[in-house]
A and B are shown apart, each in its own frame.
Chain A
Amino acid sequence: MKKALLLTLVIALFVGVMPSLAQDDVFRVAAVAPSATNDLAFSQSMHDALMAIQMQMGEDAFQFDFQDGTFIVDDAAVALREWAASGDYDLVIAHGSQFGSVVEELAAEFPEVSFAWGTDFNTFGMDNVSAYTAAADQGGFVNGVMAGLMTESGVIGVVGPIEVGDAKLYVDGFVAGVGASNPEATVNVVYIQSFSDVPQATEAAETHIANGADILTGTAQMVVGPIAIANENGARWFGTQASQAELAQGAGVAFQVYKWDVVLSEIVANIQAGDLGGQSYELTLANGGLVMEFDA
């Protein structure tokens, strides 16, 4: 009888301890992103960053689940809640500024789970929330300076999504950059009010070309259309978020590439040290989180 009790106790202890041992050995991350992991833009930049960290730490020390295409906040919320409730993850990432209210709600409900979200600075005053953003205006300014110097027609077209977050920062930085290098140049900016409407972005780019633009830029996953238009019409393309050199082919000039692994490494290290969050992080050209890549 005593032996049976002892055996039961040992098995119970073993079963109880095993999951936490697994969690100690492997740092597990789960992330949602609004578009595809190969969007050549926002979601791809995060997926690339998680892959980079996995390369650094090794697959046996760092693993991640990535749910892409969750543009609808309610869909993302379901995944985020399941991950938080499971207790299997050391960090849950909501990659998209539209997910803020969901993160705020879940972080309060699961105070022992670490959340990160962006692009934003707001941690909601919670100790288990990290916020991250990109100083996209910096690379935007660099791109703008080059565009201002390169334009021959003196007209530059910008296709933006919605005037929020890093998209607005990039466009504002780009316009300022053109102004700094070529005050005579005209920069026409169109926000199409969508991150994903490729046909509309394509026609906006066509309209820019029809109005004399010889250089185009834009941000968000719908820029694949404007890139194709730049290519077709012999215009040059300046990109951001990820390198679009392959799609842009000869049209590409420079790309501001987000290296989210710079801030994610810091967040991971802090969590491993027992600090679940409470800080904001920013990618900049100075800290290597923003990198300019050229395809001239």
Chain B
Amino acid sequence: MGLDDIFTASVFASAIRLATPYIFAALGETFAQRSGVLNLGVDGIMLMGAFGGFYAVHLAQTAGVMAEPLGLLMGVLVALIVGGLMGLAMAFVSVTLKAKQGISGIGVYLFGLGLSELLFQQWVGTPKSVAGFPRISFPILTDIPILGEIFFHHNLLVYVAFALVPLSAFVLNRTTFGLMIRAVGQNPEAADAMGVSVARVRYATTTIGGMLAGLAGASLSIALINLFQQNLTAGQGFIAVALVYFGGWRPLAVAAGAMLFSFVNALQLQIKVIGADIPSEFAVMAPYVITIIALVFATKRQEQPTALTKPYERGE
């Protein structure tokens, strides 16, 4: 067994696939946290987005009421709406009601976990597959040896996730809206004094975060796995929250963290498949251990948004 057997093109392609839901969810959480809202309910929102997207596609395909691309786009739309609504609920609880963000986030998670399971049991029953987003073959590009397999043979949502990384960085760092988000997360009193509505900005970012978390769930249920099952996300939303800290609240670094975590995960799967004699428990631990180690060093370099988790009360 040589390095050629371990570092194959399929491992890199696998890492890109695995990173997709993390990138969606972590970018959304980055927006929320940069404005001062810690949403620990990401995983629950992902589950609701995954179910909503799956169910819309399932209905469209079984009833035959929509052509395939439209049905899939409907799935994406439903996931965005469901995620946005849950983000809005989180914003209401944490911004308007000023509840403890950690506790309310856990509440949102448990709500999403339970409701997605209940709706699945009632409306679908047993696991069923749908025809999800197909892998795209680009003329010439897909046929390039090694690079074609790594970069040019994924489904649409994978490309959308990676396209959102520079877009998010641009919005946060180069637009007025981004400046307002950063100001509200860093110094809400000053932002308020300058006429920025802290509540409005936080509502917007938490809703955007919810929408992207919903899309993260849909990337599993209608693009990568193409079915829904109870607790489909298996805790990926919590990893996404950790990746925001890992990336120091910067979209490019958050995506890099998602890629690192996913690459190590893909690598350990490849090592096990080709029969390396290492205990599978250690291999499964590897992505988490490496991410934690990197997190320790990463967070030393970065200051978190000063107002993170703190409800804003004018005049306090």
Question: Which residues of chain A have a CB within 8 Å of any CB of chain B?
Answer: 35-36, 38-40, 69, 157, 163, 188-194, 196-200, 202-204, 206-208, 210-211, 221, 224-225, 227-228, 231-232, 246-247, 249
Nearest CB on A from B288, distance (A): 11
Residue B226 CB within 8 A of the other chain: yes
- Contact pick for B14, options A35, A39, A207, A228, CB 8 Å: A207
Closest residue of chain B to A210, judged by CB?
A: B10
B270 touches A207 (CB 8 A): yes
- Contact pick for B280, options A157, A193, A228, A247, CB 8 Å: A193
Complex interface: chain A residues within 8 A of B231 (CB) = 196
Residue B182 CB within 8 A of the other chain: no
Complex interface: chain A residues within 8 A of B265 (CB) = 200, 203
| C-alpha spacing A207/B5, complex, angstroms | 12
B225 touches A35 (CB 8 A): no
Task: Give 1 or 0 for each of B250-291: 1 = CB within 8 Å of chain A CB.
Answer: 000000000000000110011011110000110010000000
| C-alpha spacing A206/B14, complex, angstroms | 8
A190 touches B129 (CB 8 A): no
A231 touches B129 (CB 8 A): yes
- Contact pick for B234, options A39, A197, A211, CB 8 Å: A197
- Contact pick for B229, options A190, A208, A224, CB 8 Å: A224
Closest residue of chain A to B129, judged by CB?
A: A228
Task: Give 1 or 0 for each of B103-132: 1 = CB within 8 Å of chain A CB.
Answer: 000000000000001000100011111000
Nearest CB on A from B277, distance (A): 12
Nearest CB on B from A145, distance (A): 22
Can you show 17 pairs from A to B with CB atoms below 8 A apart?
A: A36-B230, A38-B121, A38-B125, A193-B281, A196-B234, A197-B234, A198-B234, A199-B224, A202-B224, A203-B14, A210-B13, A227-B129, A228-B129, A232-B226, A246-B128, A247-B128, A247-B129
Complex interface: chain B residues within 8 A of A69 (CB) = 117, 230
Complex interface: chain B residues within 8 A of A207 (CB) = 10-11, 14, 266, 269-270, 273
B273 touches A190 (CB 8 A): yes
CB contact under 8 A between A246 and B234, given known A198-B229, A225-B225: no
Residue B204 CB within 8 A of the other chain: no
Nearest CB on B from A2, distance (A): 58
Complex interface: chain B residues within 8 A of A221 (CB) = 229
Complex interface: chain A residues within 8 A of B21 (CB) = 199
CB contact under 8 A between A247 and B126, given known A199-B220, A211-B274: yes
B18 touches A203 (CB 8 A): yes
- Supply 8 further A-B pairs (C-beta < 8 A) apart from A39-B230, A200-B234: A36-B121, A188-B273, A190-B273, A191-B272, A193-B284, A199-B233, A200-B265, A224-B229
A203 touches B233 (CB 8 A): no
Task: Give 1 or 0 for each of B1-43: 1 = CB within 8 Å of chain A CB.
Answer: 0000000101101100110010000000000000000000000
Complex interface: chain A residues within 8 A of B224 (CB) = 199, 202
Closest residue of chain B to A191, judged by CB?
A: B280
Size bracket of the B interface: 35 or more
Residue B211 CB within 8 A of the other chain: no
B273 touches A157 (CB 8 A): yes
Task: Give 1 or 0 for each of B226-249: 1 = CB within 8 Å of chain A CB.
Answer: 110111111010000000000000
Nearest CB on B from A212, distance (A): 10
Complex interface: chain B residues within 8 A of A190 (CB) = 269, 272-273, 280
| C-alpha spacing A236/B271, complex, angstroms | 23
Complex interface: chain B residues within 8 A of A204 (CB) = 269, 272-273
| C-alpha spacing A198/B220, complex, angstroms | 10
Complex interface: chain A residues within 8 A of B128 (CB) = 246-247
Closest residue of chain B to A197, judged by CB?
A: B234
B8 touches A228 (CB 8 A): no
Complex interface: chain A residues within 8 A of B127 (CB) = 38-40, 224, 247
A188 touches B234 (CB 8 A): no
Complex interface: chain B residues within 8 A of A210 (CB) = 8, 10, 13-14
Nearest CB on A from B10, distance (A): 3
Complex interface: chain A residues within 8 A of B126 (CB) = 38, 40, 246-247
| C-alpha spacing A203/B18, complex, angstroms | 8
| C-alpha spacing A224/B234, complex, angstroms | 14
A208 touches B273 (CB 8 A): yes
Nearest CB on B from A215, distance (A): 14
| C-alpha spacing A197/B127, complex, angstroms | 14
Q: Which residues between 122 and 146 of chain B lie within 8 Å of chain A, taking CB atoms? A: 125-129
B273 touches A228 (CB 8 A): no
| C-alpha spacing A192/B234, complex, angstroms | 13
Nearest CB on B from A37, distance (A): 8
A199 touches B234 (CB 8 A): yes
A228 touches B10 (CB 8 A): no
Nearest CB on B from A35, distance (A): 7
Complex interface: chain B residues within 8 A of A203 (CB) = 14, 17-18, 265-266, 269
Nearest CB on B from A184, distance (A): 16
Most interface-central of A40, A191, A194, A207 (chain B CB within 10 A): A207
- Contact pick for A39, options B17, B227, B229, CB 8 Å: B229
Nearest CB on B from A232, distance (A): 8
Closest residue of chain A to B272, judged by CB?
A: A190
